[in-house]
């Protein structure tokens, strides 16, 4: 199950909602599962890595798709 992926669309949401929604979604996942989150809040580029570091989750990747950032987070 470690490669199971879940998606979260947080586009249109402003700080701190993308991180709050990611935290809630991650609570329901098993350790090692992946959450792919899309966000377009400019603050997310700082907030999401900080959240992962504080909560102990691994930020697997972070990329841009036009104005949208795509984050892949592995639950730890």
Share of the chain above pLDDT 90, in %: 93
Distance (Å, whole) CA 34 – CA 44: 18
Residue 52 annotated in active site? no
Catalytic residue (choose from 15, 62, 68, 72): 15
Is pLDDT above 60 for 1? no
Q: CATH number for the domain including 64?
A: 3.30.110.40
Quote the number of domains for the chain: 1
Q: What is the value of pTM for the model shown?
A: 0.93
Which residue range is the domain that position 9 belongs to?
5-74
2-33 per-position pLDDT tens digit: 556 799 999 999 999 999 999 999 999 999 99
Angle between helices 17-27 and 44-55 (to 10 degrees): 30
């Amino acid at each position: 199950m470690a490669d199971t992926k879940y998606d979260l669309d947080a586009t249109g949401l402003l700080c701190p909602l993308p991180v709050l929604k990611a935290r809630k979604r991650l609570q329901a996942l098993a350790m090692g599962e992946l959450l792919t989150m899309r966000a377009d809040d400019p603050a997310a580029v700082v907030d999401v890595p900080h959240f992962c570091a504080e909560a102990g989750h691994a930020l697997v990747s972070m990329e841009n798709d036009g104005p949208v950032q795509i984050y892949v987070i592995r639950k730890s």
